[in-house]
Amino acid sequence: MAPEYAMHGQFSVKSDVFSLGVLVLEILSGQKNSSFHKGDNVDDLLSYAWRNWKDGTTNELVDSTLKDSSTTEVMRCLHIGLLCVQENVAERPNMATIALMLTSYSVTLPLPSQPAFFMHSNTQSEVEMLWSEDLNSGATKCSQSRKETAVVSENEVTITELHPR
């Protein structure tokens, strides 16, 4: 989800460009953005891709099944993916430009800037929940606080746990 939409509810054609960029990076890395992990460093995919791009270690990002593919095409797709996820909306290319970038090698690609942030959605993290119950028809209010761990299935669909009153 584009950060401008997540933070401010602003949606535009550049929001779709951001999503396309995330998809391109997911395809190249072979991992999902929402559950990206690389060794001991748990980082989001966008930051990891950007760090590898800046350090010149993009081979670490690319999935092993794509290592035999044309390095030029893979690096061009990575470059386009990073252009799509730039933090500044105005600097992201539009879809027509992206199509041209993908089909024509005569187009010079601008250097990407730092990607937008990524808000982690920790599916296994502890969640602080406040419960407020009306007892005796609203005469007494009871508020209790307890920590619960979010339970998630293998395909990341939440599982509702019912707690009696």
Asked, for residue 111, whether it belongs to a domain, the answer is: no
Q: Are residues 90 and 126 in the same domain?
A: no
Give me the CATH number covering residue 17: 1.10.510.10
Range of the domain at 99: 3-103
CB burial of residue 48 (10 Å; 0-12, 13-18, 19+) = buried
**What pLDDT is stored for residue 38 in this prediction?**
67
Task: With 0.85 as the threshold, say if the pTM is over it.
Answer: no
Q: Are residues 47 and 127 in the same domain?
A: no
CA distance 133 to 44: 38
Q: Please state the rounded mean pLDDT for residues 50-58.
A: 90
CA distance 31 to 67: 15
**What pLDDT is stored for residue 7 in this prediction?**
80
| DSSP helix/strand/coil, 130 | strand
pLDDT of 10 strictly over 60: yes
Segment 111-156, tens digit of pLDDT: 999 887 654 444 333 222 222 333 344 443 333 334 344 444 555 6
Segment 93-115, tens digit of pLDDT: 999 999 999 999 888 999 999 88
pLDDT of 15 strictly over 50: yes
Q: Are residues 24 and 69 in the same domain?
A: yes
| Residue with the larger pLDDT of the pair 135 and 89 | 89
Query: End-to-end CA distance of the chain, in Å?
Result: 36
**What pLDDT is stored for residue 53 in this prediction?**
92
